[in-house]
Structure formats: structure tokens, C-alpha cells
């Protein structure tokens, strides 16, 4: 019987699918320093991780006689030495489609919260709502609507297109940047089963940044800051930016400076440099809407991730 270690967990539906197919699934979380030993002792052939567990060269070398499949629940595989594992004959698989909707909805949670200053009012109302109600009411009366605004999407893959679909549904204009996409069809589905289709042709970074009221980032960046001081300077004065992609893709120092000097009005951040210990100055900025890397963390997304990964495993071992 093929043994699977879901070291960072797996949804119940995914686990049940694997058990029904004859696999043994262990959801014990093994400490990183004991992981290789545990895999060898228990003859684990499939290791499933999310972002907490790291699968680096040393672990791959130590387990390559036993481990055959590494699964990453989610999109990014920064915590896995993917190419090296594949060179050793291991299958490495992620679940790129499962969390797109969840990430896109979080983008708009940040956008709605930013334009109506919920990130600030939710902190001040408990402290001052009984004594400064009218002052706060006046302070937050300068909110704006998303309808009619332009959303620039940097990276137009699955998540970027899901964000575009929601933006079209809100009556926003959409512009995209993606050097690997010439043209993309975006589908806006409705509850009654009908749908509308839109065509988006990506443009240059300069053109999109200059035209956008808000920018949403959906590229991994390979550890590089793709939005820095130069790119921020290209943006509209008073624009907003949301990063749900990777910490560091947006340069935090340049972002804070732009927020402090008024070049940008607000930022929504789900990812940070040095997670899980983000810089205090980022956390304390009065212009930021913050979440702790929860883009894919909805019950629905976790369920889809589990079942999609189960399908990949069953297909690989059959």
C-alpha cells in the first residue's frame, strides 16, 4: 500500500478520495529536522506540503530511494527545489487552479476595505466611536466607488483572470501586464448559468501603471522586487496597490515611502518579506490593509486543493 504523509494537512474530501483508492494517508505533522528520518522509517512514497514544510536538496538527497512524489497544495512552489527533485526522478506537482477564486476574492476584500477606509475605522471605532463619532464620520466620508475605476493586473494567469472577471462584474475597466500572454478571454459567470466574455490584450508595464487607479500583483517574481520606486513613480497619484502574490515582489521600503509622502493612498498586503515575522514598520503603517498570507485559505479552496491533489496522485501511481 502506497503511504502518503500530508505533513501540512489535507482536506477531508482529498483524504477520503485517497483512502477509497487504496492509499494510506498520515496527517501527522513531522518536525522539519525529523522529516527525512520519518520518511525513510515509514517508507513514505508521497509527501504533501503547503508553505510550512521545506523540501530542499538535503531532504531530497536523503529520501530519493523512497520518496517518489512531492505535492504542493497551492500555486507557488518556492519551498521546494523543484528542478532538482525532478532530476532525481521524483514527480513534483502543485494545484494551480484550486485557489484562484479565493485569492481573487481576497483582492477585492482589500480593495473594498481600502476605498471605504475599513482598515482604519475598524481600529478607531472601538476606541473613539463613543466620543468622536461625528469626527470619524467626517474622516471616512471621502470614500470612493470601484465602479468606473481602472484596475491594472500584473500577471495574467489563472488568478489574474479571476480578478479580472470580478472587476468586470463590478463595472471596472481592466488592463493587464503579462509578457507571455498575447490575448486572453475572461469569462464572467452568473448564478443562473449564463455568462459574458471579455477579451483582454496585455499592455506594457508603463502604460498599465500610468492608467490604473488600483494595481493588483499576481506574479511570483523569483525573489525580485518587480514593483519598486521607479514603477511606483509611474503610477497615478493617490492610487492603491494590492499584493497577494509573494512577499518582496513589491519593494516594501519604496511602498512605505510612497504611502508616507502621499504618492499612493493605500496598500493591501497579504504577503510580506521575512514571513512569518513581517517588518514592524509595515505592520504599523496607517495606510495598509493587512492579512497574514490567507489568499488560498478558504474552506472551499482547501477542499478543491485536496481533491485536485488526490486526482494527481491517483493518476501518477496508476
Give pLDDT tens digits along the chain (318 positions): 899 999 999 999 999 999 999 999 999 999 999 999 999 999 999 999 998 899 999 999 999 999 999 999 988 898 999 999 999 999 999 998 899 999 999 999 999 999 999 999 999 999 999 999 999 999 999 999 999 999 999 999 999 999 999 999 999 999 999 999 999 999 999 999 999 999 999 999 999 999 999 999 999 776 689 999 999 999 999 999 999 999 999 999 999 999 999 999 999 999 999 998 999 999 999 999 999 999 999 999 999 999 999 999 999 998
109 in the same domain as 43: no
206 in the same domain as 79: no
Among residues 308, 302, 296, which one has the least CA distance to residue 270?
Answer: 296
260 in the same domain as 164: yes
| Active-site residue (options: 41, 233, 275, 300) | 275
248 in the same domain as 125: yes
174 in the same domain as 124: yes
For 133-156, give the DSSP string. HHHHHHHTTT---STT-EEEEE--
Predicted local distance difference test score (pLDDT) of residue 76: 82
148 in the same domain as 75: no
| Active-site residue (options: 50, 72, 110, 246) | 246
Number of structural domains, the chain?
Answer: 2
106 in the same domain as 94: no
261 in the same domain as 129: yes
Predicted local distance difference test score (pLDDT) of residue 223: 64
264 in the same domain as 121: yes
- Would residue 293 show up in a list of annotated catalytic residues for this protein? yes
The answer to whether residues 211 and 152 touch, using CB atoms and an 8 Å cutoff, is yes
Angle (deg, nearest 10), helices 100-115 and 299-317 = 160
246 in the same domain as 106: yes
Give start and end residues of each alpha helix (H) in 200-250. 205-211, 229-234
216 in the same domain as 182: yes
| Structural domain that includes position 284 | 100-290
Partners of 214 in the beta sheet?
151, 240
Predicted local distance difference test score (pLDDT) of residue 222: 61
Give CA–CA dist 113/131, Å, rounded: 23
Q: How many helices (H) and strands (E) does the chain have?
A: 13, 13
Predicted local distance difference test score (pLDDT) of residue 220: 79
| Active-site residue (options: 38, 105, 116, 293) | 293
- Would residue 246 show up in a list of annotated catalytic residues for this protein? yes
84 in the same domain as 106: no
Decide: residue 181, CB within 10 A, 0-12 exposed, 13-18 middle, 19+ buried.
middle
User: What is the domain-level CATH number for residue 34?
Assistant: 3.40.50.720
Amino acid at each position: 500500500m502506497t503511504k502518503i504523509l500530508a505533513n501540512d494537512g489535507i482536506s477531508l474530501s482529498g483524504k477520503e478520495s485517497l483512502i477509497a483508492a487504496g492509499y494510506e494517508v498520515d496527517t501527522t505533522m513531522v518536525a522539519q529536522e525529523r522529516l527525512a528520518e520519518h520518511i525513510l522509517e515509514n517508507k513514505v512514497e508521497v509527501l504533501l506540503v503547503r508553505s510550512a514544510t521545506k523540501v530542499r536538496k538535503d531532504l531530497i538527497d536523503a529520501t530519493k530511494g523512497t520518496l517518489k512524489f512531492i505535492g504542493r497544495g497551492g500555486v507557488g512552489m518556492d519551498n521546494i527545489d523543484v528542478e532538482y527533485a525532478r532530476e532525481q526522478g521524483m514527480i513534483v506537482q502543485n494545484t494551480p487552479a484550486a485557489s484562484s477564486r479565493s485569492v481573487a476574492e481576497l483582492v477585492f476584500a482589500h480593495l473594498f476595505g481600502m476605498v471605504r477606509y475599513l482598515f482604519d475605522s475598524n481600529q478607531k471605532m472601538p476606541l473613539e466611536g463613543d466620543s468622536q463619532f461625528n469626527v470619524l464620520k467626517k474622516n471616512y466620508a471621502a470614500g470612493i466607488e470601484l465602479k468606473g475605476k481602472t484596475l491594472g493586473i500584473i500577471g495574467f494567469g489563472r488568478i489574474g483572470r479571476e480578478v479580472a472577471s470580478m472587476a468586470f462584474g463590478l463595472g471596472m475597466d481592466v488592463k493587464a501586464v503579462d509578457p507571455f500572454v498575447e490575448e486572453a478571454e475572461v469569462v464572467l459567470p452568473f448564478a443562473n448559468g449564463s455568462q459574458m466574455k471579455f477579451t483582454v490584450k496585455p499592455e506594457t508595464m508603463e502604460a498599465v501603471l500610468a492608467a490604473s487607479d488600483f494595481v493588483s500583483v499576481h506574479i511570483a517574481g523569483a525573489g525580485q522586487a518587480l514593483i519598486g520606486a521607479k514603477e511606483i513613480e509611474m503610477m497615478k497619484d493617490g492610487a492603491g496597490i494590492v499584493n497577494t502574490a509573494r512577499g518582496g515582489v513589491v519593494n516594501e521600503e519604496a511602498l512605505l515611502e510612497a504611502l508616507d509622502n502621499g504618492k499612493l493612498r493605500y496598500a493591501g498586503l497579504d504577503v510580506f518579506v521575512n514571513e512569518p515575522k513581517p517588518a514592524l514598520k509595515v505592520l504599523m503603517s496607517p495606510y495598509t490593509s493587512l492579512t497574514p498570507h490567507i489568499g488560498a485559505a478558504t474552506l472551499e479552496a482547501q477542499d478543491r486543493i485536496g481533491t485536485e491533489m488526490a486526482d494527481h496522485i491517483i493518476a501518477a501511481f496508476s
